[in-house]
């Protein structure tokens, strides 16, 4: 795993890489002493994207290069970086690292070497329903995950849906994305009214310049993508842009004769011009066309979030390193260690004088008592055993807290809490979780 992404460096302070991609036309260009630049894969309005070889592990990556905005005007790059750093999902292009040169800012990304999803359509420009279903399931799995992390893409369209070497979907280009706290009841005005997206994929409430729910807007675009995949043409189209907007606004579209009854029904529910009655992500999940005969277990597997076990392992390794310092310093149980080990913004770290299983049980208990949904994932028995992760989530799937419990010794655990965003999450930490962590330690 490459090192964690670092902040976008300001132009002057950036460590100079071995070369800048503009410095020589024919010479081998190695960025950051590590990534050997290859062919250009594509270009967008803001960046060029190249294939590159990671000289450390021999793997292939994509490098998205933006002109370095210097000290001003880097907001859009910063925002895209902040979004990508929050996301870790098998169907979302992952950001591994950011490199800065005098002239450029480079994102090192997962390579989507399979090209665009739309390269898979047949000669008539469409996909059979089972294949369209498979990719739509992957898309909804990614979009639902992003929403649960407070990220809204706002520009879901075919060009941003890529494939990896295994033919798996990867959602790319969060350049128009935004982060809104999942529990934020009143998103800021500017957020609500920003005109985003590509006309044919844009939801009617955006055209009407009404305030909008960004989750519903993303789902609308997913509905348009599904229609295009299965039909081979756009649901709302007209030579006149104004007429196209009228059709979108009225939700007026016709399904081709080859669509199954269930697919028509699902599309009617997604492409509902009224966002209040438009189907939610959960509604899509329980729709018969979406399920396509999958069992509960298969569906849960399809929709599972990031590889929690892998993430837990990584955090555990990180804690392992920190624990060496911790042992040397010899803190006593009950100390609040937040800050001391760089718990970071939105995170808390507490030392508890109790077995990990007991601490996890108490986190579960307070989560439920506070009225949230709780999911528990036990850690692997190795490395001393015990511990795991407890996810505390609100009804709409928003993260209230992710609590990782590490077993240090039989009666000693370290609890790391990644707080969700918004007042609800802050309150849960202050009023429920923090007291629940402190009480037994104080009793020691
Ligand atoms: N991770 C990747 N792997 C392979 N190809 C990629 C990757 N990311 C982007 N590309 C290719 O590069 C093109 C441009 O990338 P992207 O859309 O991210 O740039 P952009 O400047 O943000 O675009 P836009 O103009 O849509 O804002 C894509 O359409 C795609 O063909």
The rounded Cα 160 to chain-centroid distance in angstroms is 14
Q: Is the CB of 279 under 6 A from ligand 1?
A: no
For the chain, what is the total number of helices (H) and then of strands (E)?
14, 16
Question: 310 CB contacts (<8 Å, ≥6 apart)?
Answer: none
CA distance readout (Å), 18 to 2, 31, 99, 101: 18, 6, 11, 10
Q: Is the CB of 177 under 6 A from ligand 1?
A: no
Say if residues 127 and 229 touch (Cβ distance below 8 Å). Answer: yes
The reply to whether ipTM tops 0.90 is yes
Nearest CA to ligand 1 atom 9: 49
The answer, yes or no, to whether residue 308 has pLDDT greater than 60, is no
Question: Tokens for 248?
Answer: 């979108």
Would you state the pLDDT for residue 5? 40
247 annotated among ligand-binding-site residues: no
- pLDDT tens string 116-145: 999 888 888 999 999 999 999 999 999 999
Q: Is the CB of 47 under 6 A from ligand 1?
A: yes
CA distance readout (Å), 423 to 174, 182, 403, 427, 428: 26, 10, 18, 6, 8
Would you state the pLDDT for residue 81? 85
* Through-space distance between the first and last CA atoms of the chain, rounded to whole angstroms: 40
> Does 155 qualify as catalytic in the annotation?
yes
Q: Give the model's confidence band at 73: pLDDT under 50 very low, under 70 low, under 90 confident, else very high.
A: low
Q: Which range (44-53, 93-102, 253-262) has the least confidence?
A: 93-102
- pLDDT tens string 161-206: 999 999 999 999 887 888 775 444 444 333 444 555 568 999 998 8
Ligand 1 centroid, distance to 160 Cα (angstroms)? 7
Q: CA angle at residue 181 from 177 to 184, to 5 degrees? A: 125
Can you tell me whether residue 310 is helix, strand or coil? helix
Which among 52, 151, 139, 131 is positioned nearest to 97, based on CA atoms? 52
Domains of the chain and CATH, by start: 1-111+323-336 (3.30.200.20), 125-306 (1.10.510.10), 342-443 (3.30.310.80)
Indicate the top mutation candidate among 35, 65, 162 to test ligand 1's pocket, ranked by most ligand atoms within 8 A of CB: 162
Q: Residue 361 and residue 376: Cα distance in Å, rounded?
A: 9
**What percent of the chain clears pLDDT 70, i.e. is strictly above it?**
76
Would you state the pLDDT for residue 269? 98
The DSSP string of 328-386 is HHTPPTT-B-TTTT---TTEEEEEESS-HHHHHHHHHHHHHHTT-EEEEEEPPS-TT--
Q: Is the CB of 80 under 6 A from ligand 1?
A: no
Helix (H) / strand (E) element for 442: namely: helix 434-442
Q: Residue 225 and residue 71: Cα distance in Å, rounded?
A: 38
Would you state the pLDDT for residue 212? 85
Sign of the alpha-carbon dihedral angle for 61, 344, 433, 388:
positive
- pLDDT tens string 1-58: 333 444 333 333 333 333 444 444 567 889 888 999 999 999 888 899 999 999 989 9
Would you state the pLDDT for residue 26? 63
Say if residues 84 and 94 touch (Cβ distance below 8 Å). Answer: yes
- Of 155, 213, 218, 272, which one is the catalytic site residue? 155
Question: Tokens for 328?
Answer: 């040397």
Computed over every residue of the chain, the mean pLDDT equals 79
- pLDDT tens string 201-254: 999 988 777 778 999 999 999 999 999 999 999 999 998 888 898 999 999 999
The pTM (predicted TM-score) of the whole model is 0.67
Task: For residue 49, give the ligand 1 atom closest to its CA.
Answer: 12
Q: Residue 265 and residue 271: Cα distance in Å, rounded?
A: 10
Would you state the pLDDT for residue 354? 80
Q: Crossing angle of helices 434-442/356-369, nearest 10°?
A: 140
Q: Is the CB of 110 under 6 A from ligand 1?
A: yes
Q: Which residue has the higher pLDDT, 291 or 326?
A: 291
Would you state the pLDDT for residue 292? 93
Average pLDDT over residues 73-78: 74
Here the contacts of 64-67 (C-beta below 8 Å, separation 24 or greater) are 64/106, 64/107, 64/109, 65/21, 65/104, 65/105, 65/106, 65/107, 66/104, 66/105, 66/106, 66/107, 67/103, 67/104, 67/105
């Amino acid at each position: 795993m490459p090192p964690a992404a670092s902040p976008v460096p300001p132009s002057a302070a950036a460590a100079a890489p071995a070369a800048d991609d503009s410095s020589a036309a024919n010479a081998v260009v190695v960025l950051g002493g590590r990534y050997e630049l290859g062919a250009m894969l594509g270009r967008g309005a803001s960046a060029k994207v190249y294939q590159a070889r990671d000289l450390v592990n021999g793997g292939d990556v994509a490098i998205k290069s933006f002109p370095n905005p210097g000290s001003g005007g880097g907001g859009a790059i910063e925002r895209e970086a902040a979004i990508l750093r929050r996301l870790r999902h098998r169907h979302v292009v992952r950001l591994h690292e950011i490199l800065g040169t005098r002239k450029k800012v480079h994102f090192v990304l997962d390579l989507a070497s399979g090209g665009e999803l739309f390269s898979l359509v047949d000669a008539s420009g469409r996909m059979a329903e089972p294949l369209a279903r498979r990719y739509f399931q992957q898309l909804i799995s990614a979009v639902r995950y992003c929403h649960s992390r407070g990220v809204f893409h706002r520009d879901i369209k075919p060009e941003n849906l890529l494939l990896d070497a295994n033919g798996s979907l990867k959602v790319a280009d969060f350049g128009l994305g935004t982060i809104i706290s999942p529990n934020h009841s009143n998103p800021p005005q500017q957020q609500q009214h920003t005109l985003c997206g590509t006309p044919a994929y844009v939801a009617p409430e955006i055209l009407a310049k009404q305030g909008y729910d960004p989750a519903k807007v993303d789902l609308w675009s997913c509905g348009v993508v599904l229609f295009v995949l299965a039909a081979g043409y756009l649901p709302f189209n007209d030579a006149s842009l104004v007429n196209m907007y009228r059709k979108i606004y009225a939700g007026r579209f016709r399904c081709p004769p080859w669509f199954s009854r269930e697919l028509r029904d699902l599309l009617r529910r997604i492409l509902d011009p009224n966002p209040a009655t438009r189907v939610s992500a959960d509604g899509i999940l329980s729709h018969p066309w979406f399920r396509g005969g999958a069992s509960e277990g298969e569906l849960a597997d399809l929709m599972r979030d990031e590889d929690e076990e892998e993430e837990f392992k990584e955090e555990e390794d990180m804690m392992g390193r920190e624990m060496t310092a911790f042992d040397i310093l010899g803190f006593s149980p009950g100390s609040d260690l937040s800050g001391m080990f760089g718990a970071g913004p939105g995170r808390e770290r507490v030392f508890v004088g109790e077995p990990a299983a007991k601490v996890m049980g108490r986190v579960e208990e307070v989560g439920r008592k506070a009225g949230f949904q709780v999911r528990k994932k036990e850690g692997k028995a190795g490395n001393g055993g015990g511990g795991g992760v407890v996810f505390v989530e609100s009804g709409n799937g928003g993260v209230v807290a992710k609590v990782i419990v590490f077993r240090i010794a039989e009666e000693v655990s370290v609890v790391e809490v990644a707080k969700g965003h918004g007042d609800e999450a802050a309150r849960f930490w202050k009023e429920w979780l923090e007291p629940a962590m402190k009480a037994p330690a104080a009793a020691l």
